[in-house]
Amino acid sequence: MMIPHRSPEQSRSEPPGFSFLEYDKAREKIPESTRASVDTWRDEILEICRAHSVDHPNKLVLAKTHASSETLERVQNLLDDILYVFEHQDLPPEKKENLIDDREYAVEFYCEKNPSDEIVVQNLHGRFYFLEGSTDPASVYAHTGENWKLPEHVSSSAFALLGSHLVLIAQRNDEKPWGISRPFLADLHGDPLASIPDFSYYEKVGDSLVSVGKTPRTWHPVGKDGIIREKITFGNEGEEDTKFLKTVLIAGHPYFFEFNKNWMIYTEDKRLVGDPDGYEHKPLLCEEDGELRILVHDLKLDEWSITDEQGNFVRELKTPPNMRVHTASIVQHTCLVGAKQRDSIILFDEHGTILWDRFSPGTIQQIIPRGSTFIFSTIDRVSDPAIDREHTIISFHGSKGEDLASYRDSCDVPPICVGTTHAYFSQDDLVGHRLDLRFSNDRIVTLGAFLKIYAMEAIDEYRFYVIGLEQKKDTTYRIVKRVYDVRKIKAPSKKFV
């Protein structure tokens, strides 16, 4: 039974039986599988309190910074969720939709050669499906071991989330003898989805399908609910000045950039957000407490600010001098910004404090929140004398700027944080992908090797899982999910050199 949400008048104090002073004692009594979620909710409450210069949630209503009704409701919902766990020893039912599966799996299949390049894995918080395309038609496997072949003359090399439903982006191979026909959306058995027309172009952000198009210049948005808005169009076939350029996902909701003299931002229903006149300089979009934040650059004043979805001023974003901003992310209510300053790449916070800098012609590519901390990646071009050309190097760094891992050309599986430990893979010419752990004391231990690693995710503050490809025998392979517990792994005494 859910605890009813209280009215704002009732919601200014801690829930009965709950005290932040006794949090650690209460935490020890709840199941380990729920602790990471409860810690995240508590940290968010404390960060909101700090942002409003109070030391306790029951003081928010009187805060001088005037916490909004949405913020107060958010805090109360978080308190209700924490109380539910303490009383019921389980997560609230609606929080279990994205609950991480912590079981191990192994799914075997047969292939004449290393199928690393033929496998496409879709991870769903520890449950997974994969396409194995070495045979014709291709086969689909589930983490349970269940498997089936796609219909004849149907092929696929991509999964997509249509709302909360997993689908295939498929092609028919029998309609035109000289090539592949127009793609279509299919269920996991390869059958076309009813009432959804075929499109030539599909745009994904992460795993989610966010827009579809019949031409490269006109696109229809796909909402968080998975419904294609065919009557809404971004871009324009007949207007050269109107361009649909990019989609960003914020708290699962897509926001669409369109350019016509100014940068405009729209929701999936083509509701204009931010400044109704648009932006001369392309803004950056971030998420804070599940809400959209827009980072705006005033070119005349050379000043940055953070606004909400309605375009209202939230707070100032101070930037060191001579910065060209490339990317940003909000972590624990602090905006972090990646920028270029002459010949250096810079990471700084919203107060203008430089957190990390390095002399390099590259840029900061992403700032990725990881619970209460973050990692970030840089991208650079380097010369390779062996092949007489340049190639791309993507490097990942911890929140203190420590080097974690570097990859050539691309990386689909960035490092993760498990408490204070980083987990990532290293490329190895002999074995494929080597799984490494880097402890807070900079000691590194190798846990094992996979032909290829497809996914990693933290389960809680101690455990994480890896989904990868292993070879069992000459022609027997398997996709496995292995769970690791950093408490059971001893850090080496000598520092990795």
What's the pLDDT at 7?
A: 38
Tokens linked to 120:
């496409």
What's the pLDDT at 17?
A: 43
What's the pLDDT at 271?
A: 95
Structural contact between residues 132 and 141, judged by C-beta atoms closer than 8 angstroms: yes
Structural contact between residues 227 and 240, judged by C-beta atoms closer than 8 angstroms: no
Length of the chain measured in residues: 497
Other CB atoms within 10 Å distance of the CB of residue 292? 21
Nearest CA to 140 out of 117, 122, 116 is that of: 122
Structural contact between residues 189 and 223, judged by C-beta atoms closer than 8 angstroms: no
What's the pLDDT at 240?
A: 57
What's the pLDDT at 256?
A: 93
Mean pLDDT per segment of 10 residues, for the chain of length 497 residues? 33 46 80 82 84 83 76 87 89 76 93 86 95 88 94 92 93 65 89 85 93 88 91 74 77 89 92 95 92 94 94 95 94 95 94 95 94 93 74 93 90 93 88 89 89 94 94 91 92 55
Q: Is 62 helix (H, G, I), strand (E, B) or coil?
A: helix
Q: Is 492 helix (H, G, I), strand (E, B) or coil?
A: coil
Structural contact between residues 345 and 362, judged by C-beta atoms closer than 8 angstroms: yes
Nearest CA to 150 out of 184, 194, 201 is that of: 184
CA distance 469 to 464: 17
C-alpha gyration radius of the chain? 24
- What letter would DSSP give residue 310? T
End-to-end CA distance of the chain: 54
Tokens linked to 363:
């840029």
What's the pLDDT at 180?
A: 53
CA distance 140 to 150: 7
